[in-house]
Chains A and B, each alone.
Chain A
Amino acid sequence: MLNKIKFTKNQEVSHQGTSSLCRRRAWQSQGTKILAQVNRVRRPQRWDAAFGRERIHPDWVNLILSSQILGDINPADFPDDLSLADIVTNDCAIKWCSRGEIVYAAGSYQTSIFVVLNGGVRVSDDAGTDHAGEPTAMPQLNAWLSPLLKGKFGRGESNVTRFPTVRLGRYEMFGEVEALTRTPRSNTAVADVDRTALLEITWPGARELLHWSDTFRSSVEELYRARSVEVGLKESGLFANIDPETLVAIAQQCSFERHGSFDWSHVYQRENATRQPSAQMIEQEPVIIEQGHYLEDMFLIRAGFARVTETVHDNESSVGFLESGDVFGLAEIEEGLIFGSHPNAERGLRSVGYTDLIRIPEHIVGKFILPGSKRRNRGAAPAPGQTPHGDLSLLDFVVDNRFINATNAMVIDTTRCVGCDDCVRACAAAHDGIPRFVRTGRTHANLMVTSACMHCTDPVCLIDCPTGAIHRDAFSGSVVINDDTCIGCATCSSACPYNNIQMREVTGPDGAILIDEDGSTHLKATKCDLCAGQSGGPACQRACPHDALTRIDIRDIDILSDRQSRV
């Protein structure tokens, strides 16, 4: 601790560019005063606070472990300091629901996996309809109104019967698709009978089970693949007028594929450290299909991102990117069916990070999709002379730096920014005097994407958090940190591909730094929280007098392009 503080102060001295002995002594004296104020307290540990309101009773834990609730899971697979019983006790909760009570609402960001212990659950079959899919204000409204509706209108009868539903019974698992892909709920789950008991496995618990138990992992993966195809086809809207039985038959003919890896951030960090040119980055990305190759299926992107490339004179460059819900190859298959020829991919497709996709066979496309299809098809070849996103260098910048992941990036127009730092001051004023971003970042032309949390579509920072302290707000989807459960392990900070999470020393109520019994400082992860809980939205954006700073969903690259060309 002593060394650390002295080191920090000396570092500052060297940054100031002075070697004045007096000043250095003043710093050291100040450091000593700070040391005199430190409080020694025990560092918070994982499972200090159980996930549920109270820990699961040992009888329930024994029941869960002795039955087939979690499948053929073997307690011996788990290490001694992370036993299966401990995981169930601390990272799971028993959720009791009465008939009609909403377990989770479509569009909400919630990453637990559920297993029915008793009673039953109805999962709405409304994916791809107006009731599901993109996050809206509805999940919040549903959740708020749920207790009212339950009491006033037949105990939530309407929630059970309003939409076509699929019933899940005892020991059936649900919610694994969104837990694995970190996407909003695609359907609504409602308790079917009174005293329905659910085992809620939080993401940290589920992650440990997936990591240590091969049987659990394979059963979840199998379920994920099977359901992902059906849910993906429904959500895509490509089969909007197809009856459920036919859709099940179609789903059986489609296949699921994963390219790249869920753990893409560490690979990207390695690549990014060397700041390779675009062409080199493209080469390292897994190929889904090469330009000119036979295209036997249409691809529907289920999760993650893919880069559409074009190869001219052996130079492969980006011409677009695809995200969840986009399709690739529709135009080629359509052309092939019209002219009776074999469709070849007019462009290449590579996985950016990871890409989950559904292969839809050519004959299904011809029979069910092409008639009357008005589906967007950003991967298909555009009209001659046009490109899907206009400025290709901007596209390269966005894809190479993985900014396509950003739903709320802080973008500064450098032709307007005068460096007044009002944004930094506003951020500090909104967060107890400590700003949560640095006004530097990668630049393309006049656009700078600053080092502020971008609230990613796929927030890899929360995958390995041991306590689930970093999570997505259930309603807005923004990535936030619960200070009460953050144990300062820095896992999120090192996982963030953009280095947008900082570790800060924790001070007590009297302003003194907290240190552990072994002398190390208590740290907490901090990052932009979009000024959650404050009226008016992000303070940085409101404080910019020159309209230089905006928060942008970079997935809509046209907005970025407009911002770039703004006069």
Chain B
Amino acid sequence: MFGVARNTMVTLGAVVAVYWLISFYGTALRDPRFLDGWILTAAMFVQLLFHIRKKLPASPLGRAATWLKMHVYLGYFVIAVFLLHTSFSLPETTLEWALWIMFALVVVSGVVGQYLTSSIPGKLQQRYAEQMTFDKIPTARLNLFREVNALVLDTVTPDGSSEVSDFYVNRLRGFFRRPQNLRAHLRGSRRPLERITSEITDLERRVNAPDRKTLSSIKKLVTAKYDLDHQYTVQGLLHSWLFVHIPATYSLIVLSILHVAVAYAYSSGVQ
């Protein structure tokens, strides 16, 4: 907590210092937007260094955890300086709109990503004693699919009933083959699972004892598959925000360079 308070104070102090510097710069009849613009550019460049640090994972450039903290707090600083730079107003030209939207996209994806990375692992840990690694989930899903297939095939005999296999083909095969109920997993709902298990319970009343035993095993596999899908969805979410944040960052850099060039091309000469 002490670290959070200290870092917040330092960030706020830096924002106040920039605000004071801009005001002071303006009193000298200079255009403060050049000053805060360059501060913003420099801060964004430092933000980009974190990405470079991540690309060099074994480098002796300090701990990535420290870099991330700096990235987050500097991110809040950048938001404040951006608002000062835009004078809390909406853009006017197409380029400015593109820049503004891209900046908003980077900020929103970053803040959302920060929230997700700080909240999801804890929730997953509470729900699952042992979590599955994201890249192993497809293999685990395939194994469940094979296991349930084998169980159902065992029920199919020349003189046996076909109720379990019919139910499997019509209702469960698709469920086991690929990730399902993504929206329910995002909401944290277990309603689809309850629906399937209640259907299995209904079927249990109509079948013979060996099939009932099979259905009981299938029910366990359904729960395991549902939990696997939940992990897949939520862990996927943990990775997916970066697919917005990073491309948007690159676009923002290109647009910023363009913006600097345009600003100087059309400047009055008073900087």
**Residues of chain A whose beta carbon lies under 8 Å from any beta carbon of chain B:** 15-17, 414-420, 422, 425-427, 429-430, 439-440, 443, 445-446, 531, 534-536, 539, 541-548
Contacts and interface: CB of A to CB of B under 8 A. Distances in A.
A429 B58 contact: yes
B138 A534 contact: no
A419 B60 contact: no
B133 A440 contact: yes
Q: Which of B58, B60, B138, B142 has the most CB of A within 10 A?
A: B58
Nearest to A17: B142
A138 to B, nearest CB: 26
Given A17-B138, A419-B235, A439-B133, A545 B121 contact: no
Interface stretch (B6-14, B61-69, B214-222): B61-69
A543 B138 contact: no
Given A17-B141, A419-B235, A546-B68, 15 more contacts: A17-B138, A418-B238, A418-B239, A419-B238, A425-B57, A539-B57, A539-B58, A542-B58, A542-B60, A542-B64, A543-B58, A543-B64, A545-B67, A545-B68, A548-B121
B139 A422 contact: no
A535 B139 contact: no
B122 A429 contact: no
Contacts of A417: 121
B109 interface: no
A415 B121 contact: yes
Nearest to B136: A440
Contacts of B133: 419, 439-440
A547 B65 CA distance: 5
Given A17-B142, A415-B125, A545-B65, A535 B60 contact: yes
A543 B129 CA distance: 25
Contact of B121 (A16, A17, A416, A543): A416
Interface string B43-72: 000000000001011101011110110000
14 contacts: A415-B122, A417-B121, A418-B117, A418-B120, A419-B133, A419-B134, A422-B54, A429-B57, A531-B58, A542-B62, A544-B64, A545-B54, A546-B65, A547-B63
B131 interface: yes
Contacts of A445: 125
Contact of B129 (A427, A443, A534): A443
B130 interface: yes
B178 to A, nearest CB: 11
A446 B129 CA distance: 9
Contacts of B239: 418-420
Q: Which of B67, B68, B125, B131 has the most CB of A within 10 A?
A: B125
Contacts of A425: 57
Contacts of A420: 239
A430 B68 contact: no
Q: Which of A445, A535, A543 has the most CB of B within 10 A?
A: A543
B116 to A, nearest CB: 8
A93 to B, nearest CB: 36
From DSSP, what is the main secondary structure of chain B's interface residues?
A: helix
B143 to A, nearest CB: 9
A402 to B, nearest CB: 19
Nearest to A419: B134
A534 B57 CA distance: 13
Contact of B65 (A430, A446, A531, A544): A544
A440 B58 CA distance: 21
B157 to A, nearest CB: 27
Contacts of A419: 133-134, 235, 238-239
Contacts of A548: 121
Contacts of A16: 138
Nearest to A425: B57
A164 to B, nearest CB: 44
A440 B65 CA distance: 21
Nearest to A426: B57
Contacts, number: 75
Given A418-B120, A426-B58, A539-B58, A545 B64 contact: yes
A515 B182 CA distance: 48
B139 A17 contact: yes
Interface of B: 54, 56-58, 60, 62-65, 67-68, 117, 120-122, 124-125, 129-131, 133-134, 138-139, 141-142, 235, 238-239
Contacts of B134: 419
A538 to B, nearest CB: 10
A419 B238 CA distance: 8
Contact of A446 (B56, B57, B125, B141): B125
Given A414-B131, A545-B65, A546-B68, A430 B58 contact: yes
A189 B68 CA distance: 49
Contacts of A546: 65, 68, 117
A414 B121 CA distance: 6
Q: Which 4 A-B pairs have the closest CB atoms?
A: A426-B57, A429-B58, A536-B60, A547-B65
A546 B235 CA distance: 15
Contacts of A544: 63-65
B121 A418 contact: yes
B114 to A, nearest CB: 11
A402 B56 CA distance: 35
Contacts of A415: 121-122, 125
B271 to A, nearest CB: 38
Contacts of A422: 54, 57, 64
A443 to B, nearest CB: 6
Contacts of A439: 133
Contact of A414 (B56, B117, B125): B125
B58 A534 contact: yes
B117 A443 contact: no
A142 to B, nearest CB: 28
A445 B65 CA distance: 23
Contacts of B124: 414
Contacts of B139: 15, 17
A422 B56 CA distance: 10
A243 B199 CA distance: 83
A439 B133 CA distance: 8
B54 to A, nearest CB: 7
A534 B67 CA distance: 20
Q: Which of B64, B124, B133 has the most CB of A within 10 A?
A: B64
Q: Which of A426, A443, A542, A547 has the most CB of B within 10 A?
A: A542
A72 B63 CA distance: 58
Contacts of A429: 56-58
B125 A542 contact: no
A531 B131 CA distance: 28
Nearest to B56: A429
A59 to B, nearest CB: 50
Contacts of B56: 429
Contacts of B141: 17
Contacts of A418: 117, 120-121, 238-239
B127 to A, nearest CB: 11
A76 B24 CA distance: 95
Contacts of A547: 63, 65
B241 to A, nearest CB: 10
